[in-house]
Amino acid sequence: MQSLWNDSDAAQFTDALGLRVYTSRLLGKNPELVLHGGGNTSVKVDEKDFFGDAVSICYVKGSGWDLATIEREGFAPVRMSALLKMAELPTMTDSDMVLQQRAAMTNPNAPAASIEAILHAILPFKFVDHSHANAISALTCSQDGEKRVADCFGKRVLVLPYVMPGFVLAKQVHEVLKTLDLRAEGIEGIVLMKHGLFTFADDAKSSYEKHIELVTVAEGFLANQVNAVNNVATTGQVDLLALAKLRRAVSQKRGHAQVARLLNAPDQVAYSTIGDAAVRGPLTPDHSIRTKRIPAVIGEDIDAGVQQYADDYAAYFKRNATTETMLDPAPRFALWKGNGIVCFGDTVKDANIVADIATHTANTVIVGERTGGWAPLSEQDIFAIEYWELEQAKLRKGPARKVHQGKVALVTGCAAGIGFAIAESLAEQGAQVVGLDIDKDIPEIMKKIGGIGIVVNLTEDQPVQDAIDFTVREFGGIDIVVSNAGIFPKNDYLDVMAQPDWDRTIMINLTSHQKLMNKVVPFVKQGLDASIIFVGSRNFKAPGPGASAYSCSKAALTQLCRVAALELAPNKVRVNIVHPDAVFDTKLWTPEALAKSAARYGMTVEEYKTKNLMKVEIKSKDIGNMVAAMASPLFAKVTGAQIPVDGGNDRVI
């Protein structure tokens, strides 16, 4: 492991807190040291309070901040005097500790201090760095961990047995420090068994680089002990329908939709078959609130595998619970034998966090198993962390769930106008959107809403299949399909219409939708609160002269919707169609075209835009919001419906 310290970069930070920010980021950007909010750092300074009185402060990482991106305001300023008094108490509850740390802060608007704030305060050094380094976990999570640490570091580090983080850990260290002078003994760090590493110094560079040095020593020690056994596996053809089924089963146990990320590089496929070592416990206890204690192991019978995990989790809870209420029994990641690792989350971000943790766990477990036998914390200790009120509070701080959170939506024809508005509304309500369009700019267009755009000619079979397969492989399934793609050809009467114009309109406005259904329906049957929505037109009920191709294609599309509703109802997949009319904020309606059409009716442009019964303008976003609603639980018991969004049309009514 290499030090990332750069003198010129460090020179931009002129005070102790600034240097604390700088080296914290160096630690945080290395995933071998810190993952997603893990680790904590601190610096002790003397400064003046509001009244000009001298006060000693411990600036410690604030809860909810990530070391990789932390700013000055991410550190909680806590009075040293209060922290040192807390260390002298014989006992202290978690809630009292959090309350007193908050009361001792000189800035009440700062984030809550780390649960390790007391420990940071009692270490007699200006800078303190703490991580959950992979190499330290591989070293300490073994049958003879303390001996291996001694063999690796000798007397360079103080080794302490695992105890509960927070006050109990701080008290343990405080008692040791009463009889041990870290400076006099030349102690360079503290290794907490099955937990992590602390280093310290009176300057930022030394504390950080000592951390890097000790982890590098551990990496070298492990590398010399790794045996020659090598798990080799190849990435095979994944059964995507089975992946969708796995996502559905886990989501049902979780109680709401989950995004699923498949990791199936050769080493990840190999890890899926490693056996018992993978289900002994997590890399570090902190990870359990994101990943639970262990992953599910899934074989050929997916439903049975998920049910077995749920049953085992309930038994684990019963063995260890006192007054706690059981969390959902769904796995956060699964070892899908021969296929890889599947990671679940409420959002893509959440699933990616689990994926990062699972990947580092896999790598570390393999090293630990080969160099002494992987032996993480007991299930009782992990349970204490998983159900610890302070850790559960972190999870509860998240925003409220959105309507479509965890769902995956496939939207066609969404580069502009109604299609884009639909994609945007679904994304705003939490769905992960994949947009298909022939427009070459669709990838960039979908980025605007956090989605993925794929250039696809929807009349071609294989590109459509590839796009569907990509969506399932990337996110685990498809729950919402909005079949919107279409064209409005030039208006010609039947006796002068060119045959290619008719053929092209029918192909795009009807046949491409049928092709999409043929390929996507098997996956939608495995969807969650699954919904298919077609975008039709007022023309199907109220056609006009010279629009035969368009009107007939939309009428046939409506019939396709009705048939699909009949066919998919037994699978609890609802199929509905929305019929917009006079939506003028699209590329089709230029100012010139609007003026021309308005003049034909003897109206102003504003009158023409509101020529419906309610005298209201219909905008693309109105259609987007309606479609998002139709895909939501509001329409949970509605299928085969035809919903006009037109402000009222006398010819339709």
The closest alpha carbon to 578, from 452, 437, 419, 378, belongs to 419
Residue 440 phi/psi, 5-degree rounding, is -65, -20
Q: How many CA atoms lie within 13 A of 244 on its CB side?
A: 24
Residue partners of 357: CB distance under 8 A and separation at least 6: 35, 36, 283, 287, 290, 291
Residue 168 phi/psi, 5-degree rounding, is -60, -45
∠ CA 358-364-366, rounded to 5°: 100
For helices 302-320 and 379-386, give the axis angle rounded to 10 degrees.
90
DSSP secondary structure string, 445-500?
Answer: HHHTTT-EEEE--TT-HHHHHHHHHHHHHHHS---EEEE-----PPPB-TTT--HH
What is the rounded distance in angstroms from the CA atom of residue 606 to the CA atom of residue 603?
Answer: 8
What is the rounded distance in angstroms from the CA atom of residue 21 to the CA atom of residue 206?
Answer: 15
What is the rounded distance in angstroms from the CA atom of residue 407 to the CA atom of residue 271?
Answer: 28
601 is catalytic: no
Distance of CA 626 to the CA centre of its chain: 27
Place of tokens 């987007």: 624
Catalytic annotation, pick one of 59, 387, 550, 608:
550
Residue 618 forms beta bridges with which residues?
583
What is the rounded distance in angstroms from the CA atom of residue 220 to the CA atom of residue 351?
Answer: 32
For 594, the enclosing helix (H) or strand (E) is helix 591-600
∠ CA 140-146-151, rounded to 5°: 100
Residue 578 forms beta bridges with which residues?
535, 643
CA dihedral 435, 436, 438, 439 (to 10 degrees): 10
The closest alpha carbon to 237, from 339, 334, 333, belongs to 339
Q: How far apart are the first and last CA of the chain?
A: 72
Show which residues are catalytic.
550
